[in-house]
Structure 1
Amino acid sequence: MGETRLVVVGDELVAGAGDPKALGWVGRVAARTRTDDRLTVLTLAVPGETSTALGQRWDDEVTRRLAPEADNRLVVGLGRADLAAGLSLARSRLNLANVLDVAEQRHIPAFVVGPPPGATAEGERLAELSAAFADVATRRRVPYVDTYSPLAAHEQWLGDLAAGDGVLPGQAGYGLMAWLVLHTGWHAWLGLPDDAA
């Protein structure tokens, strides 16, 4: 039996912060991923992390967790911190591009999950950021999950945010994010049949 090792980098959303079940979207996706190999999921989250900070740390942290005999893969969970930090779209794009280019050079298949909706005040800017990230990933033929567009007006998502702190989703919100990941190329990326969910 081989091993599929997924290293997930990102902010508090990949850690499932705010989820009373403590699973987040990563735990829910892992639980629904059926593989003949042993599945090891290593989550490396830094709350409030911008794409610049992620770009500076990911390579060293991920490299230490790879196994030469495993099918090593990188999952990049992008958050909304670039907006609060005032990063330009060009800088955010470049940060993701650099991560994906280095992963490709190291032969580590990558999968990107974009930022979900948050406070309504940042809606338009977040839509632009998500589209920019999607473009970077698509140009590199890396799967990209747009969590913004399907959830921006989703009643259950908005209700879940409102029931909490207005920033982090709860159980229902993370469930919606997990559903989007599982139904946007996840199984194909892992070389698994779609009915594996």
Structure 2
Amino acid sequence: MGELPLRLAVVGDELAAGVGDPKGLGWVGRVSARTPTPDPLTVLTLAVPGETSTGLGARWEDEVARRLSPEADNRLVVALGRADVAAGLSLARSRLNLANILDVAEQRRIPAFVVGPPPGSTAEADKLADLSAAFADVANRRRVPFVDTYSPLAAHDQWLGDLAAGNGVLPGQAGYGLMAWLVLHTGWHSWLGLPEDGA
């Protein structure tokens, strides 16, 4: 990291906003709390509940551009949800949407970090697994860090119990804690140029 303070724009859906977390932190708040920076860390969450990657692709650039500062080390966190599956988007379309976001971010010289969709209902498990893998491939091809939240949580008792205790779709306190742990342990600090905090 340079001498400029970090400013992170997080784009995503209701999971990025932490909906369903009784503590109101979500995974973004928990990750922010475990990200020690020399200067105050600015994290701006720009979430639209139920948004597909198509919707995200249409809005992110304008919304993020308004929040960037020449006096900051500006970064983009793309928090992908599960809405593409519910909307019936093809994997090819989902891949293209993420590819376009990452390519534009690179053109704008905004370093990106991608968090994939976590497991939801068992009825859509196979499609979500494929979607997560497709997003991972797009990010990896561009050498953009990608956090797979699907594979580690698909059969995780605490995650599944947390979903079941709520509405079956949104995680609660424990689930968001698990997502935050995965983000913190999948290259987060190195992406920001910060020392690992042993979290």
CA distance, structure 1, for counterparts of residue 197 and residue 20 of structure 2: 30
- How many Å apart are 1:196 and its aligned residue? 6.0
Compared with structure 1, are the counterparts of its residues 190 and 196 closer, same or farther at alpha carbon in structure 2 (3 Å cutoff)? Answer: farther
- Counterpart contact for 2:76–2:112, Cα < 8 Å: yes
Determine the structure 2 residue equivalent to 1:25. 27
CA distance, structure 2, for counterparts of residue 47 and residue 155 of structure 1: 26
- Counterpart contact for 1:97–1:136, Cα < 8 Å: yes
Alpha-carbon deviations, 1:76-118, whole Å to 9, x = none? Answer: 0000000111100000000000000000000000000000000
Moved over 4 A (4+): none
Identity level (%):
83
- Counterpart contact for 1:25–1:177, Cα < 8 Å: yes
Aligned mate of 1:54, from 56, 64, 75: 56
CA distance, structure 2, for counterparts of residue 15 and residue 84 of structure 1: 19
Aligned mate of 1:146, from 135, 145, 148: 148
Alpha-carbon deviations, 1:32-72, whole Å to 9, x = none? Answer: 00011220000000000000000000000000000011000
CA distance, structure 2, for counterparts of residue 2 and residue 90 of structure 1: 38
CA distance, structure 2, for counterparts of residue 19 and residue 130 of structure 1: 23
Determine the structure 2 residue equivalent to 1:45. 47
Establish whether residue 124 from structure 1 lines up as the match of residue 123 from structure 2. Answer: no
- Counterpart contact for 1:75–1:110, Cα < 8 Å: yes
- Counterpart contact for 1:34–1:196, Cα < 8 Å: no
CA distance, structure 1, for counterparts of residue 30 and residue 105 of structure 2: 25
CA distance, structure 1, for counterparts of residue 108 and residue 190 of structure 2: 21
Determine the structure 1 residue equivalent to 2:189. 187
- Counterpart contact for 1:51–1:96, Cα < 8 Å: yes
CA distance, structure 2, for counterparts of residue 196 and residue 179 of structure 1: 11
Gaps of 5+ in 1: none
- Counterpart contact for 2:34–2:197, Cα < 8 Å: no
Q: Which amino acid aligns with 1:111?
A: F
Determine the structure 2 residue equivalent to 1:108. 110
SS at match of 1:68: coil
Q: Aligned Cα RMSD in Å?
A: 0.9
- Counterpart contact for 1:55–1:98, Cα < 8 Å: yes
Determine the structure 2 residue equivalent to 1:70. 72
Gaps of 5+ in 2: none
Determine the structure 2 residue equivalent to 1:167. 169
What are the within-5 Å matches in structure 2 for residues 4-19 of structure 1? 4-19=6-21
CA distance, structure 2, for counterparts of residue 25 and residue 39 of structure 1: 16
- How many Å apart are 1:2 and its aligned residue? 3.4
Q: Which amino acid aligns with 2:165?
A: A
Q: Which amino acid aligns with 1:101?
A: D
